Amino acid sequence: MKPWRVWAVARKEFIHISRDPRSLGIAIAIPLLLLILYGYALTLDVDRVPLVVWDQSASPASREFISRFGGSRYFALVGQARNYREVERAIDASEALMALVIPRDFAAHLESGRAAAAQLIVDGSDSNTATIAMGYADAVVQAYSQDVTMHQTLQTGGPALKPPLDLRARVWFNADLESKHYIIPGLIAVIMLVIAAMLTSLTVAREWERGSMEQLISTPIKGRELILGKLLPYFTIGMLDVALAVLMGELLFHVPLRGSVALLFGTAAIFLAGSLALGMVISIATKSQLLASQLAMMLTYLPSILLSGFISAISNMPKPLQLLSHLVPARYFITLLKGIYLKGIGLEILAVEAGLLSVFAILMVALAHVQFKKKLV
What fold characterizes domain 49-155? Answer: abc type-2 transporter like fold (3.40.1710)
Summarised one tens digit per residue, pLDDT across range 176-192 is 778 888 888 888 888 88
The per-residue DSSP string of 293-321 comes to: HHHHHHHHHHHHHHSSSSSS-GGGS-HHH
Q: State whether the Cα torsion 344-363-305-322 is positive or negative.
A: negative
- Integer Rg of the chain from CA: 29
Check if the beta carbon of residue 195 is closer than 8 Å to that of residue 237: no
> How far is residue 283's CA from residue 84's CA, in Å, rounded to a whole number?
61
Q: Which of 55, 46, 43, 45 is nearest to 75 (CA)?
A: 46
pTM of the prediction?
0.79
Summarised one tens digit per residue, pLDDT across range 205-228 is 777 777 666 666 667 777 777 788
Asked whether the predicted pLDDT for residue 135 surpasses 80, the reply is yes
**Which of the four pLDDT bands, split at 50, 70 and 90, describes residue 333?**
very high
What average pLDDT score do residues 114-125 get? 89
Asked whether the predicted pLDDT for residue 376 surpasses 60, the reply is no
Asked whether the predicted pLDDT for residue 85 surpasses 80, the reply is yes
Residue 232 vs residues 28, 191, 237, 329: alpha-carbon distances, Å: 15, 19, 9, 21
**Which of the four pLDDT bands, split at 50, 70 and 90, describes residue 294?**
confident
Provide the pLDDT for residue 197. Answer: 80
> How far is residue 337's CA from residue 204's CA, in Å, rounded to a whole number?
31
Provide the pLDDT for residue 159. Answer: 63
What average pLDDT score do residues 50-69 get? 93
Check if the beta carbon of residue 308 is closer than 8 Å to that of residue 334: yes
The strand order across the sheet containing 49-55 reads 75-80, 49-55, 98-102, 119-122
Please state the length of the chain. 377
> How far is residue 340's CA from residue 284's CA, in Å, rounded to a whole number?
35
Summarised one tens digit per residue, pLDDT across range 139-179 is 999 888 888 887 777 766 666 556 666 667 777 888 777 88
Q: Which residues of the chain form CATH 3.40.1710.10?
A: 49-155
